[in-house]
Amino acid sequence: MPPTARISHAPAAAPATTLAMTAKEAAIIDTALHLRGTPYRNGGSTPNGFDCSGFTQWVFAQHGLALPREVKDQFRAGTSINVRSLAPGDLVFFKTTASTASHVGIVLGPDTFVHAPSSRGVVRIEHLTSAYWTERLVGVRRVLQTN
């Protein structure tokens, strides 16, 4: 059984979330949250600037997990998960500029995710239940092994 950690994040504009998670999930979430405020950069994949898939790829790479570079390929990685079974570290996908997955973020908790959006231009936390994201949700993928 993997070690677990209890983590509590209370970022501005998002409610506190307290979830039991593995040490690997906690480390990935911590890395992602430390990048809040990083500017959006189309094609960016470093802490100097990220696009959405560059952000997810970079965060997971810091923990030895290779993800494809493009959203469409990340959408095929891992295992498809029902939205009611979200876990920290899952990838959440939306259709924003195409009829299929064109945006990705990292699940923090039951109603929050962190991502690199082009609007307002910085890595930030959003609510999955906001009307904008709910209407555009196309899937969730689990890329972390849960044994």
CATH number at residue 100: 3.90.1720.10
pTM: 0.86
Q: Would the pLDDT of 17 be above 70? A: no
The boundaries of the domain holding residue 100 are: 20-142
Please write the tens of the pLDDT for every residue from 55-91. 999 999 999 999 999 999 999 999 999 999 999 999 9
Mark whether 103 is an active-site residue.
yes
3-state secondary structure the chain: CCCEEEEEECCCCCCCEEEEEEHHHHHHHHHHHHCCCCEECCCCEECCEECHHHHHHHHHHCCCCCCCCCHHHHCCCCEEECHHHCCCCCEEEECCCCCCCCEEEEEEECCEEEECCCCCCECEEEECCCHHHHHHEEEEEECCCCC
Is there a domain that residue 49 lies in? yes
**Number of domains making up the chain:** 1
- Choosing from 9, 34, 63, 103, which is the catalytic residue? 103
Please write the tens of the pLDDT for every residue from 88-134. 999 999 999 988 999 999 999 989 999 999 877 999 999 999 999 99
Is there a domain that residue 62 lies in? yes
Is there a domain that residue 25 lies in? yes
- Choosing from 9, 34, 63, 115, which is the catalytic residue? 115
